[in-house]
Structure 1
Amino acid sequence: MTKIGTISKIVMTVVLAASAAGCSSWDRMSHRDKATVGGAAAGGLAGAVITNGGVLGTVGGAALGGIIGNQVGK
């Protein structure tokens, strides 16, 4: 995969995460919920970068980031 393809996948992942977060009545979410969403977005981005856009790495990173964000947001 070319660097352009990898970068475009990363950008699309971030845009999708931001769109999903914006649609979910952010104002009514608790601090812990916001930390979970933020962690999942950051984890998904990190997983995509580390695995060069691999689906398993992106999903795994998002799951792990969501768990970490949830615990940090306590």
Structure 2
Amino acid sequence: MKLIAIDRDDRSVYQVIVSRYDLVPYLLERFPESYSSELDVLEKILNMNPEDVDDLIIGELHNQNEIDYEIKLLGEIETIA
């Protein structure tokens, strides 16, 4: 699964690459009160905006040792004057 994340604080854009077969059950186990099923987790991930991907997905991936993932810096958000 490839997701786009945006960190507005440092204006960075990232691509997050992680197996949905690892991530979905992990999030369901970690946040059982937020999701009713694996399908519910997947639907919510696919509907996340890039800021949510940065906050939840990257934050969770950095704080665990169970799931392999890759994060690639794609660039910075340009500011328009």
TM norm structure 2: 0.27
Higher strand share: 2
Structure (1 or 2) with the larger CA radius of gyration: 2
Q: Structure with the greater relative contact order (CA < 8 A, sep ≥ 6): 1 or 2?
A: 2
Higher helix share: 1
